[in-house]
Amino acid sequence: LTRDILIKGRRRSERVGGGAYYSALALSTFGEATVLTKLGGDFPKQFLNEFEKRVKLMVLPSKETTTYELTYLNENERILRLLARAEEIKPHELPELRKFDLILANPVAREISVETLEILKRAYLALDLQGLVREFNDGVGIGKIEPGHLRGVKILHADANEISALGSLENAIDSLKGNVEVALISDGSNRGIALRKGKVYAYYPPRVSVKDSTGAGDTFLAAFSYFYRERPFIPALKIANAFTALFLERRDYNFTMDEVSEKALEVRIEEI
């Protein structure tokens, strides 16, 4: 979890954030969700009052909390600046993984080491690439990652910018084919790319009115990871896109699976 400081014009506010926050809320609509995170004494505990009603929280101590300053240029564009970073989660700090049906790793500032990632791969692991490739020299940029570090990941998500950590899109696709079972490369409301066991697909999300896209990728990865355990690849991809679209439209998860199924009819997928 993160402490997010939002700047919109002259307005300044704070909230809880991070990929684990949105992914856990999404997963809590299907069953019991648990978040393992590191928080410092600087984290405003009142931010978690509502969150803990839906999600079990396992907090490890850290000198600082991962803190981002987000300066919004418009509704969908923002500049990120890392103000503080929590300590890495070490392998010996992980809970017993066998009691979980799904492990979803959402680092946002390199809080998961390569050694910890190797342990997580022993489970059914879905991984968001963003926190493994972010660099913080001047603002927030994208560094490189060795494709071999991803070998054994069940489901990988990255956006169209983050996937450049593996080189060109063509090189990234070639690298991922031999290392992960499923890869999801999202680009907002634009065409996305999905890979499964060597096959490449294009998918087209539903068009919805979006005022704030925060949490979209985290929700998409969580929804797909859950549905992929229950359904074949194509239906899971359609339903995950629909689930995410409804979240973006409403900024909450208070919708029914009937609504998700209806929205899924708007999703188009083609093999390329």
User: What's the CATH code of the domain at 32?
Assistant: 3.40.1190.20
Tell me which residue range forms the domain holding 232: 2-271
- Whole-prediction pTM value? 0.95
Confidence of residue 76 (pLDDT cuts 50, 70, 90): low
Beta carbons of 28 and 54 less than 8 angstroms apart: yes
Confidence of residue 109 (pLDDT cuts 50, 70, 90): very high
Distance CA 122, CA 197 (A): 19
Q: What are phi and psi of 266, to 5 degrees?
A: -85, -10
Beta carbons of 102 and 229 less than 8 angstroms apart: yes
Can you give the pLDDT at residue 77?
Answer: 78
Q: Mean pLDDT for the chain?
A: 95
Confidence of residue 270 (pLDDT cuts 50, 70, 90): very high
Beta carbons of 57 and 35 less than 8 angstroms apart: yes
**Is pLDDT of 195 > 90?**
yes
Mean pLDDT across 228-241: 98
The total domain count for the chain is: 1
Task: Determine which of 45-49, 117-121, 236-240 has the lowest per-residue pLDDT on average.
Answer: 45-49
Can you give the pLDDT at residue 137?
Answer: 82
Beta carbons of 220 and 240 less than 8 angstroms apart: yes
